[in-house]
Amino acid sequence: MANNSSTSNPSLNRRQIAQALNIPPEMAARNGIPSRMKAADVHELDANPPAWLAQSRANSTGKRPIWVELRCFVCDFHETARPKKWWPEFTFVLCDFHHNHELPSPAPGWRRSEFDGVGSRFRGIVDSQDQQDP
C-alpha cells in the first residue's frame, strides 16, 4: 500500500492497482485506470469488474502468472515483479547485496547456474542435476 497520510482509505498507484487486480500495468492504463485510486475503489472494481476486466479474467489460462513475488533467500527482502519469459524456475533468489557463498551448497552431482537481471535487484539461482552419459 502507498505510504500517505490517509491510512483509513489509502491511495494506490497504477502499479499497485494492477497488482491488486492481477493484470499488467499496460492493461490498466489502456482501459482508463487512473494513475491513483483509493483502495476502497479498487476493491469495488475487483468485486464488480467492468466488461474488459471480466473478459480478461475469463480468457486467463493461469499457465503463466501475471505477477510473482521475489524474496531474497538471505535477508528476506522482497518485491513483486512481472515474470519474464526467459526466467526458469529458480531454486534460490538472491539480492545483489549478497554473495553466492551465503547459499547452501548444491547437492553432489548438481551444478549451479546464475541469472542476472531478475527484478530490480535480484539474481536467480538454479540448481540442476548433471546429465549422466549413457
pLDDT digits over 114-133, tens only? 999 999 999 999 999 977 65
Task: Give the percent of the chain with pLDDT over 90.
Answer: 77
Question: Looking at the 3D structure of the chain, how many domains does it have?
Answer: 2
Question: Residue 44 — pLDDT band, cuts 50, 70, 90?
Answer: very high
Q: Which residues contact 26 (CB under 8 A, 6 or more apart)?
A: none
The residue-averaged pLDDT of 53-66 equals 88
Q: Do 30 and 53 have their domain in common? A: yes
pLDDT at 60: 84
Q: Is residue 96 part of a domain?
A: yes
Q: Do 121 and 74 have their domain in common? A: yes
Q: Is the pLDDT of residue 19 over 50?
A: yes
Is residue 83 a contact partner of residue 64, using CB atoms and an 8 Å limit? yes
pLDDT at 7: 60
Q: Do 44 and 96 have their domain in common? A: no
Q: Is the pLDDT of residue 4 over 70?
A: no
